[in-house]
Structure 1
Amino acid sequence: MLYVGKIEHGFEGAAAQELQRRLKPLVRKTQPFAKRILNSAIWVEPRLAAEIEYRAKSANGHLRHPFFKGLREDL
């Protein structure tokens, strides 16, 4: 598993509430990555897959202008 940045756009209305409901039981106290990330986020178990649209990747591999499209139910 590889950290590629955070997604801040695309979370709206009922879809955002549904995502929050599905993530709440997956909250964990520690990061799921071997390499520590300097971020004060709320971390969850990596059990869901999301579709993310982005423009490019930065030199360090992070997504540029990422946008949450929805959860993938087909995986």
Structure 2
Amino acid sequence: MSPSVFKEKGYRFYFLSNEEERIHVHVTCEDGEAKFWLEPAVALADSHNLNQKKLREIRKIVEEHKDEIISHWRKHFSGR
């Protein structure tokens, strides 16, 4: 199961249900995918087939929605 948190500018931001406990978000688009840590600070964890321009754009979106993503994470994983 991979619930979507939101979609913006052609990117889908989502979680994978069977993942590590450190808060992060996955992002996909037609060109590739990435994973960003949210704590202690927003940081790129991994990416595939995305250029630096797209990664900067995604990071900016993650930073703008950080509180929302963390809230969804806590709600989704509260039963752990």
TM over 0.5: no
TM-score, length basis structure 1: 0.31
TM-score, length basis structure 2: 0.30
Q: Determine which structure has the larger helix proportion and give its number.
A: 2
Q: Determine which structure has the larger strand proportion and give its number.
A: 2
